[in-house]
Chain A
Amino acid sequence: MANALLSVRNLSVQFTTYGQTNPVLKGVSLDVPARSQIALVGESGSGKTVTMRAIMGLLRSPPAKVTGGEIFYDGRDLLTMPDRERLKLRGTAMSMVFQDPMSSLNPVFTIADQMGTILKYADRRLGRSRNGRERMARVHEVLGQVRMRDPERVARSYPIMLSGGMRQRVLIAMALLSEPRLLIADEPGTALDVTTQAQILKLLKDLVEERGLALLMITHNLGVVRETSNYVYVMNKGVVVEHRPTAELFEAPRDDYTKALIAAVPRLTGGTSFGKAGAAA
């Protein structure tokens, strides 16, 4: 918690379904210092998404229940602060980039409408005031920041008029609207093609660096970890099994699970042999 912007301490969460209670997070701790690029990597069922939702306050209760731990943002515990205070932080101090660019935008409103509304509520929560024209100016500015060539045209568009990559960039722009200090990205670009995903990841990295943001990247893809982070937490079955600087992790993984995970990734250089005979050879 020392100087980290976001600090998760010993977080435990359990889920109750059909009267059965299962722990899904068993004492997870992680730190996101200001201006750092952190990755949280794990396979399905590792608890990375639950961790992310707990940080954003998106866990639905029931079935989820936080049974222990703290989540500090800027030294204040999010779990004990009043809901009103917490709402103020969400979307303003810390923002979320969602995974699915197809379902995260409302198809019946233009981009300008959707972004304008988000900005209006963010302003209201923070006690700022801006008129409609100022809001649109800000929307255009942010769309420009995500490298849209014609922000005015994009703002006038409905989601269906934009390609997957453009929509993903609109989602990033939405997250940037209120100048957050922390960006939480949930597998951005996984729903897109490789070439588009590469562009999105590069854009995110550039943005984070040039605007001095902290990035928490939630992903299952080790390649994405290596390209976007400098420190990584590896999760398995509700616990952090290893956390190291990213370069170190790939060079000399310590934990057995991490080793197996890295070994399972097929290499672009070849030499990953599948099958029993291959393993013997």
Chain B
Amino acid sequence: MASETVPTAPPRRLSNAYQNWYRFSRNPTAVIGAAIVILAILAALLAPWITPYPEHVGAVVNFRARHLPPSAEYWFGTDNVGRDIFTRVIFGLRISLLLALVVLGIAIPVGTTLGLLAGYFGGWVEVVIMRLTDIALAIPPLVMALAVASVLSPDLINSMLAIAALWWTWHTRLIYSITRQLRTQEFVEAAETLGASKFHILFREILPNCVSALAVKTSLDAGFVILVGASLSFLGLGIQPPTPDLGTMVASGSAFLPDYWWESVLPGFAILIVALGFNLLGDGLRDLFDVQEVR
């Protein structure tokens, strides 16, 4: 008895976006993380308009107002030449976020492509790429940045390049392991037997399935890159004064500890909050996507 009824469309289910939003909005960690990250980005973009003393970014000197503690007038107090620390922290966010953007902007495409190639093709391609990755992983980014800075000049661009030159390895490893699992999946084999090109299989079939893992990794990484950048500036290898940078501020403020604690502690606190925000967001995304994989 063959049923001749044409199967009708199932009742329209909740849209994907709505389901994701529902789960995301019920995950307090993720929401707090996202809020911090969005606030930090907005603050950095709008810095000239929302800070009380935008002119304090430069080499302003106001000795009458030096070393003032936090007050209604100067929220985070002032530094040793009388500049508003709150203003400089907000501007410092720009450097930190720019660093994360550039490093990840280089590392993700490079790392992802190499991971896809190694995972999909295997053989000597895999051996070359993965051994290269192992070598790069053995060098600590901070040491690399120190080496680059001592050969070239110690500035932001060089530090960024030094970090980016090593950071792709983590993405290569991640994408490599996912690709290895996906390579034997039936939908990849199906695409092969249907005559799809290698490019299509790598970037249209496999890559979309790596996106959730990449999003988690990127968010977690952004926090780490900001920390590494701050460490470099603290060591004097990052941005040079008077441009405000959180790491530099912690370093110069530390000369006046413990009396004028706010000069180093509050910029340090800003680094902590931003890095934490990215980490919380990353964890939240991971929870979100894990649920999706299981479902």
B-contacting residues of A (Cβ < 8 Å)?
18-20, 260, 263, 274-276, 278-279
- Number of B residues near A (Cβ < 8 Å) is 8
Contact A18 B18, beta carbon cutoff 8 Å: yes
Contact of B1 among A18, A19, A279 (CB under 8 A): A279
Contact A276 B2, beta carbon cutoff 8 Å: yes
Q: A18-B14, A20-B14 are in contact. Are A276 and B22 (CB under 8 A)?
A: no
For residue B288, give the distance in angstroms from its CB to the closest CB of chain A: 13
Does B4 lie at the interface of the complex (its beta carbon under 8 Å from any beta carbon of A)?
yes
For residue A262, give the distance in angstroms from its CB to the closest CB of chain B: 11
Does B153 lie at the interface of the complex (its beta carbon under 8 Å from any beta carbon of A)?
no
What mask results when residues 17 to 38 of chain B are scored 1 for a CB within 8 Å of chain A, else 0? 0110011000000000000000
CA distance A241 to B282 in the complex (A): 48
For residue A20, which residues in chain B have a CB less than 8 angstroms away from its CB? 14
Contact B4 A276, beta carbon cutoff 8 Å: yes
For residue B22, which residues in chain A have a CB less than 8 angstroms away from its CB? 18-19
Chain B CB within 10 A, most for which of A18, A20, A279: A18
Q: A18-B14, A20-B14 are in contact. Are A263 and B1 (CB under 8 A)?
A: yes
For residue A274, which residues in chain B have a CB less than 8 angstroms away from its CB? 2
Contact of B2 among A18, A19, A278 (CB under 8 A): A278
A-B pairs with CB below 8 Å: how many? 16
Closest 10 CB pairs of A and B: A279-B2, A18-B22, A276-B2, A18-B19, A263-B1, A18-B14, A279-B1, A275-B2, A19-B22, A276-B4
A-contacting residues of B (Cβ < 8 Å)?
1-2, 4, 14, 18-19, 22-23
8 residue pairs A–B, Cβ–Cβ below 8 Å = A18-B14, A18-B19, A18-B22, A18-B23, A19-B22, A20-B14, A263-B1, A275-B2
For residue B147, give the distance in angstroms from its CB to the closest CB of chain A: 43
For residue A19, which residues in chain B have a CB less than 8 angstroms away from its CB? 22
CA distance A18 to B19 in the complex (A): 7
For residue B30, give the distance in angstroms from its CB to the closest CB of chain A: 16
Chain A CB within 10 A, most for which of B2, B14, B18, B23: B2
For residue A18, which residues in chain B have a CB less than 8 angstroms away from its CB? 14, 18-19, 22-23
For residue B19, which residues in chain A have a CB less than 8 angstroms away from its CB? 18
CA distance A263 to B18 in the complex (A): 40
CA distance A276 to B19 in the complex (A): 40
CA distance A279 to B1 in the complex (A): 5
- Across the interface, name the chain B residue whose C-beta is closest to A259: B1
- Across the interface, name the chain B residue whose C-beta is closest to A264: B1
For residue B27, give the distance in angstroms from its CB to the closest CB of chain A: 13
CA distance A153 to B4 in the complex (A): 56
For residue B185, give the distance in angstroms from its CB to the closest CB of chain A: 19
CA distance A279 to B18 in the complex (A): 44
For residue A279, which residues in chain B have a CB less than 8 angstroms away from its CB? 1-2
CA distance A260 to B2 in the complex (A): 10
CA distance A141 to B18 in the complex (A): 55
For residue B60, give the distance in angstroms from its CB to the closest CB of chain A: 54
CA distance A274 to B2 in the complex (A): 7
CA distance A88 to B1 in the complex (A): 50
- Known pairs A18-B19, A260-B1. 14 more at Cβ < 8 A? A18-B14, A18-B18, A18-B22, A18-B23, A19-B22, A20-B14, A263-B1, A274-B2, A275-B2, A276-B2, A276-B4, A278-B2, A279-B1, A279-B2
CA distance A279 to B4 in the complex (A): 10
CA distance A211 to B84 in the complex (A): 84
- Across the interface, name the chain B residue whose C-beta is closest to A19: B22
For residue B231, give the distance in angstroms from its CB to the closest CB of chain A: 39
CA distance A275 to B2 in the complex (A): 6
For residue B3, give the distance in angstroms from its CB to the closest CB of chain A: 9
- Across the interface, name the chain B residue whose C-beta is closest to A20: B14
CA distance A263 to B19 in the complex (A): 38
CA distance A275 to B3 in the complex (A): 9
CA distance A18 to B18 in the complex (A): 9
For residue A278, which residues in chain B have a CB less than 8 angstroms away from its CB? 2
- Across the interface, name the chain B residue whose C-beta is closest to A274: B2
For residue B18, which residues in chain A have a CB less than 8 angstroms away from its CB? 18
CA distance A276 to B14 in the complex (A): 35
For residue A277, give the distance in angstroms from its CB to the closest CB of chain B: 9
For residue A278, give the distance in angstroms from its CB to the closest CB of chain B: 7
CA distance A191 to B2 in the complex (A): 29
- Across the interface, name the chain B residue whose C-beta is closest to A260: B1
